[in-house]
Amino acid sequence: MTMTLRPVNPRRVLKVCGATTLDDITLLAAAGADFVGLWHGVPGGHANLSVAELTVLAAAARATRQLQPVLVTFISDVDVLRDVVERTGLRWLQLHAYQSPAVVRALRAAIPGELTIVKVVHLHAGRCLERRFIPSYERAGTDLFLLDAVTEDGRIGSTGQQLRGSDVIDLVPLLTRPFLLAGGISAHNRADYESVVEHPQFFGIDVDTAARDDRGRFELASVTDLTRGWRTACYHREIA
């Protein structure tokens, strides 16, 4: 089963990562976010959740009838991921570490029914570390890519480090799937990515730090500014 992902209009989607409370879910829905990233299996992550917490927040997100919950994980064990998906009912799965194409292929075989797989690819100093594997990820069943930055010391995920638009444009011709843009996105730097935004496979933005106040809490005004600055909108899906 292949997912065809399309925005409801020429605007694109906003995914906000790292929710940990029911109040976070309520705020993100009210501010106009479309997806919420829920962390599990992210060792040392500031928003890492137990399976029980993940289940509660995923249900709350679905109940808003606006937010699509996404499992964000570093886990590579397919049996573990299948168990988490079955227990939580999550149907969007973001592989945020260096999981191989074989893991994507095994997930497709192990989890029946509708599952959207998002694979993060990492850019370090402008170079995509998984560049040569992109065709293999697509053949294995990746639905959507997320482009994110790696810091000089190798940290991945919610780094706040900005990607250069020229590096993104250099990479996207290799993709035949839609992509999300992460890495230092703010409410005010859309102009840095005009050529990216105009690309037909651009699906939207993924943020964490930019959605928070100076104490690290999600802030209604910050998320609203992102939706306005990037002109995001709710999405719909079509099954092809």
Contact 71, 40 (CB under 8 A): yes
What are 56's two structure tokens?
């509660």
Residue 187: Cβ within 10 Å count? 18
pLDDT in tens, 110-127: 998 889 999 999 988 778
- CATH number given to 3-239: 3.20.20.70
Measured CA to CA, the distance from residue 52 to residue 49 in angstroms comes to 8
pLDDT in tens, 22-79: 999 999 999 999 999 999 999 988 999 999 999 999 999 999 999 999 999 999 999 9
Predicted model pTM:
0.89
Which residues have C-beta within 8 Å of that of residue 98, sequence separation ≥ 6? 122, 129, 130
Pairing state between β 3-7 and 235-239: antiparallel
How is the chain split into domains, by residue range?
3-239
pLDDT at 202: 95
